[in-house]
Amino acid sequence: MSIVVVGSIAFDDVQTDKGSVKDALGGSALYFSAAASLFAPVHLVGVVGGDFPMEEIAFLNARGVNTDCLDVVENGKTFRWSGVYETDMNKRRTAVLALNVFERFDPMLDDRCRSARYVFLANIDPELQERVLDQVVSPEFVALDTMECYILQKREALRGVLRRIDLLFINDSEAQILTGLSNVVAAAESLLDLGPRYVVVKKGEHGSLLISRGGIFVVPAYPLRKVIDPTGAGDSYAGGVVGYLAETGAHDEGTLRKAVVCGGIVASFAVEGFSLDRLRDISRNDVERRMEHFRAVTGF
């Protein structure tokens, strides 16, 4: 089944203790699409300026990503982000944030996007997320990501859209801010009262939690000896989760548990290189091989 993703597309300048890149492809919609397209067809909705190199995302088209709803503003500039990571890559500093054409982003879906059965609303303004849901016709499963600035500045709009979704992706600090609860498990369980059937709490190198009315599922992160760039890891994770669900056509709790494991595996590839470098090169078979290794190192 197909997925529609609505999110940002950006140029990233990134510096870590492993190196740096400039004008690299980034943004939530690209990371998600590169990950999810390993499993299912994706419709990408976003906006870029006339400076965006469309040939650089030809690999996504080859994987079945439909870019008909990618709005190109010829006289505009693409969203730009610059960040510096400390040696502890959980800590980063934003040096430049220039929204450019993304500041006036007004997502419009065509018929194919509106009929997609699976929807991923990346971490954009919750008012835009609501506007997208108003255009989608009877989606089977809706997943949403958010970020701290919207929790702080658009809390009521965010609470409104949470009532319309099935799965919320959120990191541990955001869950605590949104609920006012310091315990992550209690915070995630409280979020279920806001509307979603499932909550995934992302804990970076410490893995993730899947919380539902049925209980708690804990997933460690895939063990890596070297991390190059954590940018886009959360969006790649979401792409693996939603992509797996769309591939199976199911979204019961058992399938969700397999999906969050798959999401962690896909994210483990993403952080092994800058930008989309690793996601560009891997195949579905690579994911399966790493899944088998993960089963071996976590079984007892």
Which CATH number does the domain housing residue 121 bear?
3.40.1190.20
Find tokens 């971490």 and name the residue: 123
Count of domains for the chain: 1
Tokens of 171: 């990191």
pLDDT in tens, the chain (300 residues): 899 999 999 999 999 999 999 999 999 999 999 999 999 999 999 999 999 999 999 999 999 999 999 999 999 999 999 999 988 887 788 888 999 999 999 999 999 999 999 999 999 999 999 999 999 999 999 999 999 999 999 999 999 999 999 999 999 999 999 999 999 999 999 999 999 999 999 998 889 999 999 899 999 999 999 999 999 999 999 999 999 999 999 999 999 999 999 999 999 999 999 999 999 999 999 999 999 999 999 988
Would the pTM of this model clear 0.85, i.e. be above it?
A: yes
Degrees to nearest 5, angle at CA 259 with 39 and 146:
95
Tokens of 211: 């919380």
Dist CA 226 CA 273 (whole Å): 10
Range of the domain at 281: 3-298
What DSSP assignment string belongs to 104-167? G------HHHHT-SEEEE-SS-HHHHHHHHHHS-S-SEEEEE--HHHHHHSHHHHHHHHTT-SE
